Amino acid sequence: MRINSSRRALTMLADVCMSVTLAGVLPVFGQPSILIRNATIIDGAGGPPIVDGAIAISGSKIAQVGPAAGVQTPAGAREIDAAGKFVIPGLMDANVHLVLNMTIEFHARYEDRYEDLIEEAAQVALRNGVTTVFDTWGPLGPLMNVRDRINRGEVAGSRMFVAGNIVGLSGPLGPDFNQHAATAASQAFVKRINQLYEENTGPDLLWRAPEQVRAEVRKYIARGVDFLKYAAAGHGRGRSSFLMFSPETQRAIVEECHRAGIVAQTHAMTVESLRQGIEAGADMGQHVELTGPEPMPDGLIKLMLARKFHAAVQPFTARRRNMMIEDASDPEEARQITVSQENIVRLIKSGVPLLLASDGGLRNPDEIAFQKPRAGIDRPFELREGPFLWLQAMSESGMAPMAAIQAATRNVAAAYRKLDTLGTIEKGKTADLVVLDADPLQDINNVRKIALVIKDGRIVDRDALPLKKVLTAPRPQPRPASENGR
């Protein structure tokens, strides 16, 4: 069986196969093997692209990769002629929130349907070439259930690794995320939702001594998290805390992670909280570029390098950054945006391993409906656009395309200690691939031109995703007032 390389043909194939497919995943009949031929392969390891390369996939693994000549066609393999196309590793997003919302109405409406939302979001990510996501804040129980369902192949979706709560912060209707909920919703509801998120790792821990926190973190890890995120800082001035846990407590948290063999990551918002997190031994940090109005000291960058700290950053495209500065309510706010961008530029030059991190989720369509339209403004905190905008923004900030691809693949795998199976196109690794119609090394925005996504060695039926539309199915909007009798 031979598959023409044109995008249209691939889509047709998808259509044909739909009738016999497991939802969202194209079936592989007989011997589940694939051969991709004639492609330019950017394997994520950082070396020059393999021109006229081939990838042999057997089951869920990469059996062989290299110049076409040296790659054997697995018996009974489906062959994909990828002439003129480019293959990169499946994208990995180091920071997503598959349930991303802190409004009363959202949680009231979906309280009994979190798993539906999580599936939908994981499928939207997969459709866009993100084969692995790391959920860094969400309701642990529902997240683990969907994670396991995807892993067992029962449902399509991006591969999920989940952290549950940010240790030390409240749930979505608590003071760290929603100031209105305490007065505008019933307390039973607010407590129930917050508890679903916080379990035993909410703000109560901040009152306690290091060993007490250690004991709770140990219990929480045993619940089944894949990695742990803790709040070295809260959400900044006016919200909560510049520092949350003492260095001793942070060390206890990190030790518990390492004892359990999982990665510890830190939520930092200030120079000192970031420094403390690194010194406590955290493996990686989120939005490290956020240091308020103070530029990141050189010493802090050196410290990251010395500790092999992985840094997830959240850049903005120039056009959005300019809009934000224009809309800033005061000069202080504008200054913080500028400082963050300067930090990013310095980090790119520094050699600190950077990670794609969109902080993205699916938005409540009701909220989107009433946002003021602003021509051409992109939404970085969206699962759909976020990863692509990240690559664009980093490119604008001086990151080379090859480095950007690595930040979106290999570096994420390394940071989360998954490099043995994920992050690059190498023999023996899991077959997560994205086939592009145009060269991402010429223009990083070509990553948007996805021809084909393969996850776990299977072709993803992108057009079918998400299978069950919840947030992506827009709600009916109110009729214009003109129909109301005027």
Residues 81-140 that bind a copy of itself (CB under 8 A): 103-109, 111
Note if the bond before 474 is cis, omega within 30 degrees. no
- The interface mask with a copy of itself, positions 31-50, x = CB under 8 A, is --------------------
CB of 105 to a copy of itself, least distance (A): 4
Nearer to a copy of itself, 248 or 443 (CB): 248
Nearer to a copy of itself, 235 or 384 (CB): 235
Which region holds residue 375: left if phi is over 0, alpha if psi is between -120 and 50, else beta? Answer: beta
CB of 5 to a copy of itself, least distance (A): 43
Among 34, 91, 133, 206, binds a copy of itself (CB under 8 A): 206
How far apart CA 186 and CA 29 sit, in angstroms, is 53
Burial letters for 292-311: b for 16+ Cβ neighbours within 10 Å, e otherwise?
A: beeebeeebbebbeeeebbb
Q: Which candidate, 46, 40, 147, places its Cα nearest to that of 419? A: 46
How far apart CA 172 and CA 314 sit, in angstroms, is 21
CB of 463 to a copy of itself, least distance (A): 27
Residues 2-21 that bind a copy of itself (CB under 8 A): none
Residues 364-383 that bind a copy of itself (CB under 8 A): 364-367, 369-370
Query: Tokens 């497919």 sit at which residue?
Result: 21
Q: Could you give the dihedral angle defined by the CA atoms of residues 358, 362, 365 and 367, in that order, rounded to the nearest 10 degrees?
A: -50
Q: What is the DSSP letter of 467?
A: S
Written as six digits, the tokens of 30 are 């007989």
152 part of the interface to a copy of itself, by CB under 8 A: no
CB of 94 to a copy of itself, least distance (A): 25
Written as six digits, the tokens of 224 are 């089944």
Among 189, 337, 445, 446, binds a copy of itself (CB under 8 A): 189
Among 7, 61, 237, 319, binds a copy of itself (CB under 8 A): 237
258 part of the interface to a copy of itself, by CB under 8 A: no
Q: Which candidate, 289, 288, 284, places its Cα nearest to that of 265? A: 284
Residues 270-299 that bind a copy of itself (CB under 8 A): 270-272, 275-276, 291-294, 297
Nearer to a copy of itself, 19 or 183 (CB): 183
Pairing of strands 433-436, 450-455: antiparallel
Pairing of strands 284-286, 310-313: parallel
222 part of the interface to a copy of itself, by CB under 8 A: no
Residues 154-183 that bind a copy of itself (CB under 8 A): 175, 180-181, 183
Part in contact with a copy of itself (CB under 8 A); list of ranges 89-97, 233-241, 306-314, 418-426? 233-241
Residues 306-325 that bind a copy of itself (CB under 8 A): none
Nearer to a copy of itself, 158 or 276 (CB): 276
Nearer to a copy of itself, 41 or 269 (CB): 269
Burial letters for 92-101: b for 16+ Cβ neighbours within 10 Å, e otherwise?
A: bbbbbbbbbb
Helices 318-327 & 331-350 angle (0-180, nearest 10) = 160
Among 177, 245, 309, 388, binds a copy of itself (CB under 8 A): 245
